[in-house]
Structure 1
Amino acid sequence: MENAPLKSWIADMLAGQAEETLWARARSGVTWGRLRSKVTELERLFEIQGVKSGSTVAVQMVPSFTYLWTVLALWSRGAQIMLMDPRLTRIEVDRLLTLCEPQYLMSSGSSGAVRVVFQDECEIQVEVRRGGHPAVTPHALLQFSSGSTGHPKIIGRTAGSLLAEVSRFGGLPEMPRAGERVLLGNSLTHSFGLIGGVLHALAVGAGLLFTVNGRPRTLLSTLADAEAQVLFGVPFHFELLTRISDEVPLPHLRLAVSGGEAIRPEVYRRFRERYGVRIGQAYGMTETGIIATDLTGAHEPPAVGFPVPGTEIRVRSGELYVRTDDSPYLYANDVGSRYTDGWLRTHDLCDVDDRTGVLSVHGGTDSLVVIGGLKVDLGEVELALAEHPDVTEAVVLFTSTIEAFVGTNGRTTARELHTWCSERLSQYKIPRRFQLAPAVPRTSNGKLVRNRELLLTRMSAQASSPSSPLGLSEAGK
């Protein structure tokens, strides 16, 4: 059984801590003893439902203790898990289910959550999918990443790959240690939150903390009251903490690490001035896991630190490539121009300091952007708009927000397009501004213009009446 090493690892980790030791806390605390009993209980339940080694299970649940022990129980049964973000709409979920054909869907009852906050427990709804198929690959985990085509890419991680990444994290001396308390703000369906956060904490016996709402004062008070030594989050969390007026010191905080997207230098500086701790960086991809780190924040952004041990990188024409033994993509048509001869093209612009060897990342070359730690493929948004019967063409850009420049036949409005998108895309992918005109301007060689200022000028001149560039952005929220 390919997933046997992961099953054995989980059993060893769960057995390694005393019953009464606190494992995690949100509104209430969960001991290691309760974690063990809940994982065992769910293992038995899933066995009754027919989940076994090689079963394929899609999981779309709100972040919760229930979600975490569901994942651990499924891996302990030898299942292949497909993690779906709770923000995905039912249309997005159905697209992935059609693509992957899992035998089960486990959810917490709804899709398309606008706001996702941690819950202690939630319901588990199990849908048996009669047309699903067992695993045909050795992967223990499937994740989904948008690509330059606008269609989701399916990324596979084997048990060996996951455990190797846990080991790489464990080899970094700055990472959380046994007995330390880690406030984890990263998404639990994404690699850094799940592997660097949850699985690393299991491996070393660190305690996890979760905030029960998205308010900055709750984040700050949780850090202070729990005397947390570590904060993992996305740039948004650190920006909130620098804006809050409360003068609450964090004398126990020794490590603050941002992942998911680039952090602005001014946030890095303000956080250090306010709390006396530099924000560290964890840079990686769904396809590869962690690539480079500067966990202590010794180097100011856009620097992301040094490649982690065991990772081989190179730079070609200013783009970063990462060495991988196999393609991370499950389908041949996912590979495209990304994976060739053992090298994965990240589409990230970067440079390596000749003197120090420090890697800096300066943005991407494709249509993928990161907003609040969540990846958005602007091509996917364009495809969704193009499916509208009254849309002839669309260009979607991101500056401070997502904007859509849409050519229409005059029979639709910005408000209608916002509603159309909200039925097909997660909330964080929906454009906040729409500019409508009879056509989207093109260059002299026939390509759609993708310069924002030119689009605004030319489309405003085309439109017979002002379109909504978006009074709707607020009304549509």
Structure 2
Amino acid sequence: MVSADRHPPPRFNATRYCLGVNAEARSEKTALILVGADDAVESLTFAEADRAVRGIAAGLLARGLRRGDRVMIRMGNETDYVLVYFAALAAGLVALPSSPQLTPAEAAFLMENSGAAAVAVGGGCVIEPADLGDRILLDGAAIAAMKAGDPIPDYADTAADDPATLVYTSGTTSRPKGVLHAHRTIYGRRPMLDHWLGLSEADTMLHAGTMNWTYTLGVGITDPWSVGATAVLYNGPRDPVVWPRLIARHRATIFAAVPSLYRQILKYGDPAAFDLSSLRHGCTAGEALPGDVLDAWTQATGKPLYEALGMSEISTYVSTGPTIPQRRGSPGKPQPGRHVAILPVAGPPEPLPPGETGLLAVHRSEPGLMLGYWNRPDEEAQVMRGDWFAGGDLACLDAEGYLWFEGRNDDLMNAMGYRVSPNEVEGALIAHPSVAEAGVAELPVRADVSVICGFVVLQPGAEPDADALIAWCAERLAAYKRPREIRFLDALPRTANGKVQRKRLAAAAGARST
């Protein structure tokens, strides 16, 4: 079991914690396996990963980057993504993971907003020269040369509170906001190792996500490395059939994915046809776990499936797991050692008693809590209630400590585990010349699945063309942000003050034939 110490030492470097210790204690153990198309395998030992990371770190510093400079990573699921990420932290820089699905315009916004000093790019990811400006561009050849160069002799002597990672998530405006995390955040993940993942040095973790996602970077790589376990990631065609085969081939002991992928595996992947005897349990986050998926997975595999709740600002802090029994309909309990409460929606931030609904909140003393929003002091003020961070979820804790959701206090959507701002999608739709007004909300398509839907009022004389609007958004938004459905309305439902009532959009569309 991992030590219960909640806080790291004052001087703490996250890469030393995840990689440097392993390079000394278990240098020849496999740290990372990356499976590609046709089952091609690339692997690194802890010693090889450590050497490559320190080489890249030296190369970054040799190019004039200074403590705290941001390094944006624009790659797919590539080994270099992991190495550049940890190299930035090793050098005392700030890593900015980004999605390969971003359009060039979205990538340009992140570069500009973050003030990135360098951008590392991988295959298929585009950076427009005009957007790059005087930033340092690090392509595959440059990264390879840095890996082969002289390494830094030691990791940067960073404080636990020094900035380490900047991740962008949807906010309440039309542009994503940066969430800035310190080196201590990685140490702050320790409660989930025992109480959700059940993770130890003996494990092999297979994660189904892409590296830019904090779920994948955290659970798929950082957490296994923090205990000396092996991480397995996949970079081939996204076919649900592949996952049981990968579990069997690589003798994965833990598998992590979103609930919707578990459903696809059960429908198309035929897990009973593979030897899953190595698997101890599955883990899931990013979306609520439907009861029928839990039942079907358990019946098909004989393995438990543990759920967790988290967010970009604090990671996963509520879960079921080896020490927290499942309770149908609840994502679990706050992990032991966490400081979680339910606060009144209005009034003094005094924790409510069990059974009362309010804002789900985490105390600012949590080492995993963000440093703050990047250049968004106004939004920080909105989420801090005294000594508590409250992200907008409405919930209650029952007498036994289990969490029960009651919805959100805002309109953020959940698309395949990503939080998406309706403002951002609405901004893309309203820019189309045929669109007079637009509202965006989740649209249920079956009992446990919703998609992003655009509700559109057309300009006079314009013809309804849903496919054209979806294609328009595809040129301007990452795939996970794009509307999957378009509904045409005569008018958007609004309050007396003129505010669009997003929660009424689906009902308004249902009242009008399209």
Q: TM-score category by the smaller chain?
A: 0.7 to 0.9
Classify 1:264/1:423 alpha carbon distance in 2 versus 1 (closer, same or farther; 3 Å): same
The 3-state SS of whatever aligns with 2:486 is strand
Residue identity opposite 1:195 in structure 2: G
Provide, for residues 324-345 of structure 1, a one-character-per-residue CA deviation record: whole Å limited to 9, x for no partner: 2476223212225322212122
Distance in 1 of aligned mates of 2:123 and 2:50: 25
Displacement of 1:268 in angstroms is: 0.4
More divergent stretch after superposition (368-377 vs 59-68): 368-377
Q: Secondary structure at the match of 1:367?
A: coil
Counterpart position of 1:139: 163
Equivalent position SS for 1:36: helix
Pick aligned residue for 1:392 from 406, 419, 436 = 436
Q: Secondary structure at the match of 1:16?
A: helix
**Which stretch shifts more, 168-177 or 246-255?**
168-177
1:434 aligns with 2:461: no
* Deviates most, 175-184 or 359-368: 359-368
- Provide the residue aligned with 1:338 in structure 2: 383
| Residue 248 of structure 2 corresponds to residue 224 of structure 1 | yes
How far apart, CA to CA, are the structure 2 residues paired with 1:345 and 1:48?
A: 41
Alpha-carbon separation, structure 2, partners of 1:16 and 1:403:
51
1:130 is matched with none
What is the deviation of 1:206?
A: 0.8
Does 2:410 align with 1:370? Answer: no
Shift of the 336–418 alpha-carbon distance from structure 1 to 2, 3 Å rule, reads: farther
Counting only pairs closer than 5 Å after superposition, residues 97-136 of structure 1 correspond to structure 2 as: 97-111=111-125, 123=140
CA 89–159 in structure 1, closer or farther in 2 if over 3 Å, else same:
same
Alignment counterpart, residue 15 of structure 1, candidates 9, 23, 26? 23
| SS of structure 2 residue aligned to 1:149 | coil
Q: Conserved in 2, the CA contact under 8 Å of 1:106 and 1:125? A: no
How far apart, in 1, do the equivalents of 2:72 and 2:380 lie?
A: 23
Aligned to 2:334: 307
Partner Cα separation in structure 1 for residue 19 and residue 226 of structure 2:
11
Cα distance in 2, alignment partners of residues 375 and 353 from structure 1: 26
Q: CA deviation at 1:373?
A: 1.9
Unaligned runs of 5+ in 2: 1-9, 128-138, 144-160, 345-356, 445-449
Equivalent position of 1:319 in the other structure: 359
Q: Using CA pairs below 8 Å that are at least 6 residues apart, which structure has the higher relative contact order?
A: 2
Q: Is 1:176 the equivalent of 2:199? A: yes
Partner of 2:272: 247
Residues 153 and 342 of structure 1, relative CA distance in 2, 3 Å threshold: farther
2:402 equivalent to 1:379: no
Alignment pair present for 1:285 and 2:335: no
Q: Does 1:189 align with 2:209?
A: no
**2:60 equivalent among 16, 23, 46:** 46
User: In structure 2, do the counterparts of structure 1 residues 109 and 187 end up closer, same or farther at CA, with 3 Å as the change threshold?
Assistant: closer
Match of 2:372 among 328, 343, 346: 328
In the superposition, the TM-score normalised over structure 1's length comes to 0.84
**Cα distance in 2 for residues equivalent to 1:124 and 1:426:** 27
Q: 1:22-45 CA distances to partner (integer Å, 9 max, x unpaired)? A: 222223232223222322332333
Question: What's the CA shift for 1:53?
Answer: 2.6
Sort the Cα spacing of 1:278 and 1:362 in 2 relative to 1 into closer, same or farther, 3 A.
farther
Amino acid at match of 2:332: G
Tell me how far 1:442 sits from its aligned partner: 4.2
Identity %: 23
Stretch of structure 1 that moved more, 191-200 or 438-447: 438-447
* Deviation sequence 1:213-252 (CA, Å, 0-9, x none): 3222211011112222111111122112222335234222
The answer as to whether partners of 1:4 and 1:78 remain within 8 angstroms in 2 is no
1:89, distance to aligned residue in structure 2 (A): 1.3
Question: What's the CA shift for 1:4?
Answer: 5.6
- So what's the TM-score if we normalise by structure 2? 0.78
**Deviation by residue 1:100-130 (Cα, 9 ceiling, x = unmatched):** 21111112154489xxxxxxxx93678xxxx
CA distance in 1, matches of 2:11, 2:102: 27
Paired residues of 1:322 and 1:345 also in contact (CA < 8 A): yes
C-alpha distance in 1 between matches for 2:382 and 2:27: 50
Which residue identity lines up with residue 365 of structure 1 in the other structure?
N
Deviation, structure 1 residue 364 = 2.5
Does 150-159 or 335-344 show the bigger shift? 335-344
Corresponding residue to 2:188 among 164, 168, 177: 164
The amino acid of 1:81's aligned partner reads A
Q: Is the 8 A contact 2:207 2:220 kept in 1?
A: yes
Matched position secondary structure for 2:241: helix
The residue identity in structure 2 corresponding to 1:290 is: T
Q: Give the aligned partner of residue 405 of structure 1.
A: 455
Question: After TM superposition, where is structure 1 displaced by more than 6 Å over at least 4 residues in a row?
Answer: none
- Output the amino acid matched with 1:241: I
2: distance between equivalents of 1:13 and 1:213?
A: 34
What is the identity, as a one-letter code, of the residue corresponding to 1:273?
Q
Deviations 1:58-115 (A, max 9, x none): 11211221110111112111111122122211111111222121111112154489xx
CA contact (8 A) 1:235 1:259 kept: yes
Please state whether the residue corresponding to 1:401 is helix, strand or coil.
strand
Q: Summarize the Cα distance change of 1:453–1:84 in structure 2 as closer, same or farther, 3 Å threshold.
A: closer
Alpha-carbon distance in structure 2 between the residues aligned to 1:11 and 1:318:
40
Residue type matched to 2:508 in 1? L
Q: Aligned letter for 1:380?
A: E
Segment of structure 1 superposing worse, 438-447 or 8-17: 438-447
1:119 maps to what in 2?
Answer: none
| Structure 1 pair 336–40 and aligned structure 2 pair: CA distance change class (3 A) | closer
Q: 1:411: how far off?
A: 3.9
Structure 1 unmatched runs, 5+ = 114-121, 127-136, 461-465, 467-477
In the alignment, residue 416 of structure 1 is paired with which amino acid?
A: A
1:77 corresponds to which of 64, 67, 91 = 91
- Give the secondary-structure state (helix, strand or coil) at the position aligned to 1:69: helix
Is residue 151 of structure 1 aligned with residue 195 of structure 2?
no
- Per-residue CA distance 1:394-430 (angstroms, 9 max, x = gap): 1112123222111121346434322321121111211
- Give 1:186's aligned amino acid: G
> Which region of structure 1 is more displaced relative to structure 2, 83-92 or 360-369?
360-369
Partner of 1:347: 392
For residue 17 of structure 1, report the CA deviation from its aligned partner: 4.2
Residue-pair matches, total: 440
How far apart are the structure 1 equivalents of 2:30 and 2:16? 22
Q: Report the RMSD for the aligned CA atoms in angstroms.
A: 2.8
Which secondary structure state, in structure 1, belongs to the residue aligned with residue 13 of structure 2?
A: helix
Asked if 1:448 corresponds to 2:474, the answer is no
Alpha carbons 2:195, 2:320 under 8 Å: kept? no
